[in-house]
Structures are given as C-alpha cells and as structure tokens.
C-alpha cells in the first residue's frame, strides 16, 4: 500500500466518517418514497395500461431526497473547513484562512452537483419503473403482479421489496430472481453447475441459495413464504450495495471539491496566481485490483491549481474524485490529491 502523509490521512478519515451518513440518507429517501406510493392509483393505472400515470402514482419526487441534500452539503462544508486547517501559510503570515460556504462558487457547486445527483436518482427510478412495467406487460403479467414488482409487498405493516430503489442492472437481477422463483421451470433456469456442484446463478446469501436448491431438487417452484423472505434479503443486499457505492463516491467528491475550492479562496485572499499551488497525486491503495495508472501516478506533481494530472491511460483529471472526471476514474477510488503553497510565488 502506498504511504499516506498526514494531510491525506486526515481527508481519508473524514470521508470514511461521513460516508455512512450519506448512505443512510439515500436509504431514508427510498423508504420515504416507498411509504408514499399511491397503491390504489398505481393499480388503477396499470389496469388501464397507462404507464405515465402509474409512474406518477409512485410519487418519486426530488423533495424526498432532502436528507441526502443536507448530508452532501454538510460533507462539502466539512471538507472545506478541514482544508483550511492544512494551508501551509508563509512564515510570519498573519492572514487567517476560513472556508466560506457563501462564496458564489461554493453555492454554485452545491446547486449543480448535489442538485443534479438528486435529479439523477429520481430519473433513474422512473426509468427503472417504466422498463419494469413494459417488460411486465410483454411477459403477460397481471397488473397486480407488476405493481408488486415495482413497489414490493407489505410486511409487518411496511412495504418492502420492489425495484424502484435500484438502478437498471440491479433491478434486472432482482426481477429475474423474483420471477424465476415463481415456477419450477424458472427455478431450473436459476441453477447452474460450478465444478460439478449445483449453485444459484446470482450471488445470494446462503439461506436463499439453500431454499432455491431445495425447490430445484424437488422439481417445484420456491414456496410463497420462502420466496418472500428470499426477495426481502436479496433486495436489502442490492439496495445497501448501491447506497454504499453512491455514498462513498459522492462523499469523496464533495470533500475533495470543497478542498479545491478552499485553495481557490486562499489564492483570492493572498492575491496569488494559480501557479502558486503545487498539487500531488497520492495513490490510496486498499483495493484488490487498483487502477494501474492511478498507482503509476503516485507522487506525481503538477504546478497550478487548475493544471490537470495527465494519467497514463489518457485521462485528464484535476484532482482525485473530481466530479467532472468519468465514473471509470472515480468509482471505488481511494486516491487523494494534496495541495501546498509555493512560498516563492511572489519573489521576483
């Protein structure tokens, strides 16, 4: 693992501390949406094959994500405050550095990045719902069954399951498992041989695999009670997995973006040019298959706050976890970018 300096460790610790809060906020938003579904309106719209009204009945609104907005905004603020404590001010300098959340750039970042993420989460849910409805009709499923695919079933007074919290690939896997367990033929399709041993095609917990394999050996569908608990467990796994990935990426993006903004505020206060800042790429390690070009970039330095790192795979990135960078460069990344002030910038 690459050695991390104190500045990198401070930000790594902050991201690790804040990510669970953002994860909870994502899950809270979906719980609110699920609890607010107009079940009667959904059923009626599906019976009329009115897809748009069915989606409207799900009540997927950006307002449901206010806890997410607050957590992401807080992560941005805390990232900036921490950055202000790491400024290597010139010796003897009496200038104090604070992070100003009211700076128009900071406010614009929140509006654009947090707002766009919320819109994206809501739009993805509507797209998943639309696709689930259309494939349900194509498969000849009853409107009630399609509604359950979307919204889940009421368990102990709360609606659980359904696909609206999932992205497209996870929703496809969930529905494939759900529908396959309903028939003996579907169960047969779920079971594959691995090194001569029967196993479930999808990655599920041991108890769910045992239920499916028992049904397979008996040549029957998975029973209703077994199917219900299996789908609840699988759905929770997929939802927590998705929420964790979103939280890790968006927390790191908010913290690191605020860090960069604080350095711009420092330059503004000192009247210094962008070239007075030296940035260093720090590979984070800690993952099984790190991006080799991120490893190769470890300790690479560039001069200038706005000068990008040119990575060996051709990517051009301003800093680790830059929200403007492709997802392929940021998802699951543990890298860091440190900043320091070159005290010779104003010496002719």
Q: What is the pLDDT of residue 28?
A: 93
Give the pLDDT confidence score for residue 347 in this predicted structure.
Answer: 58
- Compute CA 94 distance to the chain's CA centroid, rounded to the nearest angstrom: 41
φ and ψ at residue 296, rounded to 5 degrees: -65, -30
For residues 17, 18, 24, 25, the Cα torsion angle rounded to the nearest 10 degrees is 170
pLDDT (tens digit per residue) in 96-112:
899 999 999 999 999 99
Read off the pTM: 0.89
Structure confidence at residue 156 (pLDDT): 66
> Cα 77 to chain center, whole Å?
19
pLDDT tens-digit series, residues 249-278:
999 999 999 999 999 999 999 999 999 999
- The per-residue DSSP string of 173-217 comes to HHHHHHHHTTSHHHHHHHEEEETTEEEESS---HHHHHHHHHHHH
The torsion angles phi and psi of 200, rounded to 5 degrees, stand at -80, 140
pLDDT of residue 348: 45
Question: Which residue has tokens 């769910």?
Answer: 208
Percent above pLDDT 70 for the chain: 96
Contact 165, 126 (CB under 8 A): no
Strands (E), the chain: 153-155, 158-160, 191-194, 197-200, 277-282, 301-303, 309-310, 316-317, 336-341
Cβ proximity of 15 and 76 under 8 Å: no
Beta strand 197-200 with 191-194: parallel, antiparallel or unpaired?
antiparallel
Q: List, for residues 196-254, the tens digit of each pLDDT value.
A: 999 999 999 999 999 999 999 999 999 999 998 999 899 999 999 999 999 999 999 99
d(CA 259, CA 92): 24
Provide the angle, in degrees to the nearest 10, between the axes of the packed helices 115-138 and 66-84. Answer: 140
Sequence-distant (≥ 6) Cβ neighbours of residue 174 within 8 angstroms: 163, 166, 231, 234, 235, 238
Instruction: Decide if pLDDT at 290 tops 70.
Output: yes
Q: Is the pLDDT of residue 127 over 70?
A: yes
Residue 314 has pLDDT above 70, yes or no: yes
Of 61-75, 84-98, 173-187, 325-339, which range is least confident? 84-98
Looking at residue 153, what is its pLDDT?
78
pLDDT at 3 over 90: no
Q: Could you report the per-residue pLDDT of 14-46, keeping only the tens digit for each?
A: 999 999 999 999 999 998 998 899 999 999 999
Give the per-residue pLDDT at 325: 94
């Amino acid at each position: 693992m690459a050695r991390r300096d104190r500045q990198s460790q401070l930000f790594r610790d902050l991201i690790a501390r804040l990510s669970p809060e953002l994860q909870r906020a994502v899950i809270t938003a979906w719980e609110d949406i699920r609890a607010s579904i107009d079940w009667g309106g959904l059923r009626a719209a599906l019976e009329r094959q009115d897809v748009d009204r069915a989606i409207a009945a799900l009540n997927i609104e950006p307002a449901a994500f206010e806890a997410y907005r607050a957590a992401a905004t807080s992560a941005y603020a805390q990232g900036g405050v921490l950055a202000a404590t790491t400024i290597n001010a010139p010796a003897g300098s009496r200038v104090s550095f604070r992070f100003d959340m009211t700076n128009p750039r900071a406010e614009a970042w929140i509006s654009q990045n947090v707002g766009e993420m919320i819109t994206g989460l809501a739009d993805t849910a509507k797209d998943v719902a639309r696709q689930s409805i259309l494939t349900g009709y194509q498969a000849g499923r009853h409107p009630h069954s399609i509604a359950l695919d979307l919204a889940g079933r009421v368990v102990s007074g709360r609606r659980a399951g359904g696909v609206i919290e999932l992205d497209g690939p996870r929703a496809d896997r969930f529905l494939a498992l759900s529908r396959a367990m309903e028939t003996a033929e579907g169960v047969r399709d779920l079971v594959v041989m691995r090194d001569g041993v029967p196993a479930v095609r999808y990655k599920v917990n041991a108890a769910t695999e045992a239920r499916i394999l028992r049904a397979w050996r008996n040549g029957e569908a998975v029973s209703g009670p077994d199917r219900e608990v299996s789908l609840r467990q699988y759905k929770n796994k997929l939802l927590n997995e998705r929420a964790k990935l979103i939280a890790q990426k968006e927390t790191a993006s908010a913290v690191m973006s605020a860090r960069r903004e604080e350095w711009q505020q420092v330059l503004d206060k000192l009247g210094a040019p962008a070239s007075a800042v030296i940035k260093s790429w720090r590979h984070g390690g800690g993952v099984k298959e790190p991006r080799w070009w991120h490893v190769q970039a470890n300790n690479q330095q560039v001069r200038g706050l706005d000068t990008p790192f040119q990575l060996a795979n051709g990517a051009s990135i301003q800093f680790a976890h830059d929200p403007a960078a492709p997802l392929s460069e940021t998802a699951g990344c543990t890298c860091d970018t440190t900043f320091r002030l070159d005290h010779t910038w104003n010496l002719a």
